[in-house]
Amino acid sequence: MEDAILKRIINIISNKNYHSRNTTVKLKQKFENKGFIVSETYSHNAELNICVGGDGGFLRAVHRNKFPTIPFIGINTGHLGFFQEILPENIDDFITKYINKDYKVEEMTLVKAEIVTNQKSYFLTGVNEIVIKGIKSKVVHLEIFIDENHLERFSGDGIIISTPSGSTAYNFSSGGSIVYPSIESLQITPLAPINSKAFRSLLNSAIIPGDLVILVKPELRYENSLLVVNDGMEFKYNNIKRIELKMSENKIYKLNFSKDTYWNNLKSKFL
């Protein structure tokens, strides 16, 4: 038993604040005392990624390591910590449950965007959301199609395309709906839609089945006025002709130690 566990590798990914670094030291020591190897650098042979920090740190870890199939779990030393479910004072209980395999591995849906310009195509993958908005808060006019069916000519600040996991992030703050993580779908949420005699935009979010493609076409005069924001990271492309968004074929994975975690988390963070 001990010989088998000696080669089990854990990645600990931490931000640099004092509380996180202190928690990481304790976490590393406790896992090593149980016979695990805590890798000094990110190991692709590890069996678990432990993210210490807040939700921002979790998102950075996923992007930096290119959406690995190694499952994640989060230790919350930040503020909201919706992805970071374990408190530092509960580390011992977490390690015991992990060793005893008292958990389930859940899939997390990702959103993928193809940005087509005059010159080439660019690809982005998001955990929470991909946002299409105007540069310097300019109003944009977008033609939106669902599986080639025209939905609306949107006018306003922009739109959010969120995953179920991201439905509790920027989407929720902008009036979008909360979607349970296992429901394979994407959500379109308008940002400051204009609804007047001149412009008619949907005022509420729409939840789209995961197998459909969302197509966004800017009006010609706005093709250089768009900003694409992927999980908080801004990207600027010249001469955008269209943006196609859909559920990514890739997934990331997360440990869940209780079937009630999601609802308890939702209540404790927002109510």
User: Can you say which residues are annotated as belonging to the binding site for NAD(+)?
Assistant: 55-56, 60, 128-129, 138, 157, 168-173, 192
Looking at the chain, list the stretches that DSSP marks H as alpha helix, in order from N- to C-terminal side.
2-5, 18-33, 55-64, 91-99, 170-173, 261-270
**Active-site option among 3, 55, 92, 260:** 55
> Residue 259: exposed, middle, or buried by beta-carbon count in 10 A (0-12, 13-18, 19+)?
exposed
What lies within 8 Å, CB to CB, of 259 at 6+ separation is none
Binding residues: 55-56, 60, 128-129, 138, 157, 168-173, 192
| CA end-to-end span of the chain | 45
Token pair of 254 as six digits: 């997360």
Query: Token pair of 149, please?
Result: 């069916």
Active site residue 102: no
Phi, psi of 63, deg, nearest 5: -70, -45
Question: Active-site positions?
Answer: 55
